[in-house]
């Protein structure tokens, strides 16, 4: 094998592997805290990339409208849920969280979209638009089912995925979009040219992993999330609000999705349905990690990225087949090593 080609492929694999790692971590996070297998994770990636690309073209991102729609839905649901005990504080909180917050973000997008602000402002705006969606998706689709079985939650996830993908099609169209990189330019690392964008990807991935680590180790909310993951009922008994930890997990997942979209948008053309496949590759990594281990998931994601980049070079037609078949040996391994496996 040509050494230069190999290093290129490895670099390419690391780049996509880093994205899969972020998504895999978000999936493990959501699953361990809420028992939701979050199929729509990939949609946040597509939304993020497409929002950024719209902003790049000075267009108003339709995701802001979508956020407003989600907010109104959540508002109505909250209103209905509290219909028997409607008082000022509850109403105020409901209006603030579900109407004012998306309203402010919508206005912000309206102001910032046409003026072509800097790349970082656009990236930040993208995150601000996408992240609260995690909150509303949880409120609308999952909160009423918080005590349902993993299986029911999984099927709900598929429903959310279909709806979000369809909405992506309505708002962004069937055309593929590509965002501008955060910063252009190439460096050369010895003989190896490295794009600035891939440095951003590596740096952001590492920063997010460290950030998550600090969050879980050092903050009370992070510890509450870990407690919920270990034992829901136990956490509730010692005063952890499992609704709050659930919401936090979803908002984190949406944020990570949006960041991944910002990172990957400039290097791949994103269609309304691209997010699903990208998210599923995060799943392959998460499954290898048993849907439980953060470090194994991250390492597995890098492996998935590298396998993918090598197969796309040597057997490009079989790329997806090989990547998605990776879980079969893992399932065999888990199946052999597992002792008695109790469902919930």
Q: Please, what sign has the CA dihedral across residues 191, 197, 200, 206?
A: negative
Are 52 and 74 in contact by the 8 Å Cβ rule? The answer is: no
Is 183 or 325 the residue whose CB approaches another protein more closely?
A: 325
Is 25 or 263 the residue whose CB approaches another protein more closely?
A: 25
Is 221 or 321 the residue whose CB approaches another protein more closely?
A: 321
Is 101 or 322 the residue whose CB approaches another protein more closely?
A: 322
Are 305 and 297 in contact by the 8 Å Cβ rule? The answer is: no
* Min separation Cβ 325 and another protein, Å: 5
Is 101 or 163 the residue whose CB approaches another protein more closely?
A: 163
Are 279 and 43 in contact by the 8 Å Cβ rule? The answer is: yes
CA distance 187 to 276: 32
Is 99 or 146 the residue whose CB approaches another protein more closely?
A: 146
* Min separation Cβ 33 and another protein, Å: 15
Cα separations in angstroms, 161 against 38, 39, 139, 309: 9, 6, 15, 26
* Min separation Cβ 272 and another protein, Å: 9
Give the side-chain half-sphere CA count within 13 A for 239: 2
Cα separations in angstroms, 50 against 56, 58, 172: 10, 12, 7
* Min separation Cβ 32 and another protein, Å: 12
* Min separation Cβ 116 and another protein, Å: 28
User: What is the DSSP secondary-structure string of 290-339?
Assistant: TTT-HHHHHHHHHHHHHHHHHHHHH-GGGHHHHHHHTHHHHHHHHHHH--
CA distance 317 to 321: 8
* Min separation Cβ 198 and another protein, Å: 27
* Min separation Cβ 124 and another protein, Å: 29
Which residues are at the interface with another protein (CB under 8 A)?
A: 37, 39, 140-141, 144-145, 148-152, 154-156, 158-167, 169-170, 174, 277, 280, 283-284, 287, 291, 317-318, 320-321, 324-325, 327-328, 331-332, 334-335, 338, 340-344
Is 6 or 315 the residue whose CB approaches another protein more closely?
A: 315
The H or E element containing residue 186 is strand 186-189
Is 122 or 161 the residue whose CB approaches another protein more closely?
A: 161
CB burial of 234-250 (b: ≥16 within 10 Å; e: otherwise) equals ebeeeebebeebbbbbb
CA distance 162 to 276: 10
* Min separation Cβ 281 and another protein, Å: 10
């Amino acid at each position: 094998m040509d050494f230069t080609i190999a290093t290129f492929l490895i670099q390419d694999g690391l780049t996509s592997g880093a994205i899969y790692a972020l998504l895999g971590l978000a999936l493990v996070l959501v699953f361990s805290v809420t028992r939701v297998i979050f199929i729509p994770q990939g949609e946040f990636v597509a939304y993020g990339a497409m929002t950024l690309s719209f902003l790049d073209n000075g267009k108003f991102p339709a995701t802001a409208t979508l956020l407003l729609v989600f907010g109104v839905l959540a508002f109505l649901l909250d209103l209905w849920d509290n219909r028997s005990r409607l008082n000022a504080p509850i109403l105020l909180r409901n209006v603030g969280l579900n109407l004012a917050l998306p309203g402010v973000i919508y206005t912000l997008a309206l102001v910032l979209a046409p003026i072509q602000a800097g790349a970082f402002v656009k990236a930040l705006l993208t995150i601000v638009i996408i992240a609260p969606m995690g909150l509303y998706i949880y409120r609308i689709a999952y909160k009423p089912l918080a005590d349902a079985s993993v299986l029911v939650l999984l099927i709900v996830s598929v429903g959310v995925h279909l709806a979000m993908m369809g909405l992506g099609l309505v708002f962004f169209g069937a055309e593929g979009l590509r965002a501008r990189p955060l910063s252009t330019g190439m460096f050369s690392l010895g003989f190896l040219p490295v794009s600035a964008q891939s440095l951003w990807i590596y740096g952001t991935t590492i920063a997010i992993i460290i950030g998550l680590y600090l969050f879980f180790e050092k903050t009370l909310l992070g510890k509450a999330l870990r407690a919920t993951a270990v034992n829901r009922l136990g956490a509730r008994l010692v005063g952890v609000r499992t609704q709050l930890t659930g919401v936090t997990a979803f908002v984190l997942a949406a944020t990570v999705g949006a960041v991944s979209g910002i990172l990957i948008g400039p290097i791949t053309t994103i269609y309304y349905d691209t997010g699903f496949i990208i998210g599923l590759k995060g799943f392959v990594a998460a499954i290898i990690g048993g849907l439980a281990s953060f470090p194994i998931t991250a390492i597995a994601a890098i492996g998935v990225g590298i396998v993918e980049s090598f197969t796309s070079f040597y057997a490009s037609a079989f790329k997806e087949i090989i990547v998605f078949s990776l879980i079969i040996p893992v399932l065999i391994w888990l199946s052999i090593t597992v002792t008695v496996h109790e469902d919930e």
